[in-house]
Amino acid sequence: MVASTSASAASSSASAASSSASAANSSATAASSAASAAASTAQRIEDSGVISKDGKTTFAADNTSNRDSAKAKGKDATSMGYGSDASGENATAIGNNAKASAKNATALGQDAKAVAENSVAIGQGSVSNEKDTVSVGNDGSNGQAVVNRRITNVAAPRHATDATNKQYVDNAVGSVRSELRKTDKKLRGGIAGATAMANIPQVTQPGSTMVGAGIGNYKGQSAVAVGVSKSSYNNRIIFKMSGSATTQGDYNIGAGIGYQW
């Protein structure tokens, strides 16, 4: 009887030991699964770029102002930043309190607002309120403070629709001014030539011929002119012709005929 009881106790102990081993194995399996899940999560975080391989954070945000959560209410919209709201279709709002409320609108920067279709607002407080435009400031029409910015390091344009820079504009304006100065000299020379031709004396005696000369000057430009005039024998018809040369290398020529009674 004692032997039977001892055997039963030994069997119970063995069963308990087996159960303990099974439980330990289950715990080990669970721990392994948890470790695997943690490793997978860490890998996903690393792959996402939020935390780099060296453990340093690559993305961070602060909500000291206690703004609302980011919202992307528009179809296929994207929003990033506390209080940001992309409510337009295909809209993108990036930055704290950035708003992109129109279709295909993009707002980049804190408090940036893109409220017109296919428009872009870049920079803190910038507003794009006209369709198909890019704004880097704010004209103050919405009640906010006026914000003006310069766009720097812009290359010279190559195509008709490219933006340009100050140097390119200055060169273009300088070229126009140079041409205007040349044109101005030409015009002053022409006036001097006309003045010279107008001052050539004219024949007065019937049947006579006169050859004359004249000079003229207008605002620094000069000219010389020569001409000939002839009167009919009854002094009723007078013919004249003349020409001039200016300091700009241009020439004028003219002729006329008159009848008097």
Residue by residue, DSSP assigns 142-211 as TSSPPB-----SPPPP-STTS---HHHHHHHHHHHHHHHHHHHHHHHHHHHHHHHHHTS----STT-EEE
**Spans in the chain with pLDDT lower than 50:** 2-3
> Which pLDDT value is given to residue 30?
67
**pLDDT reported for residue 15:** 62
Provide the whole-model pTM.
0.60
What is the edge-to-edge ordering of all strands in the sheet holding 134-135? Answer: 78-80, 92-94, 106-108, 120-122, 134-135
Query: pLDDT (tens digit, 9 = 90+) per residue, 16-44?
Result: 555 665 665 666 676 677 777 766 765 66
Q: Give the class (CATH, top level) of 68-150.
A: mainly beta
* Domain residue spans of the chain: 68-150, 193-259
Task: Tell me if 68-150 shares its fold with 193-259.
Answer: no
Residue 215: predicted pLDDT:
97
pLDDT number for residue 64? 80
Quick one: 193-259 is in which CATH superfamily? Answer: GSPII I/J protein-like (3.30.1300.30)
Which pLDDT belongs to residue 2? Answer: 47
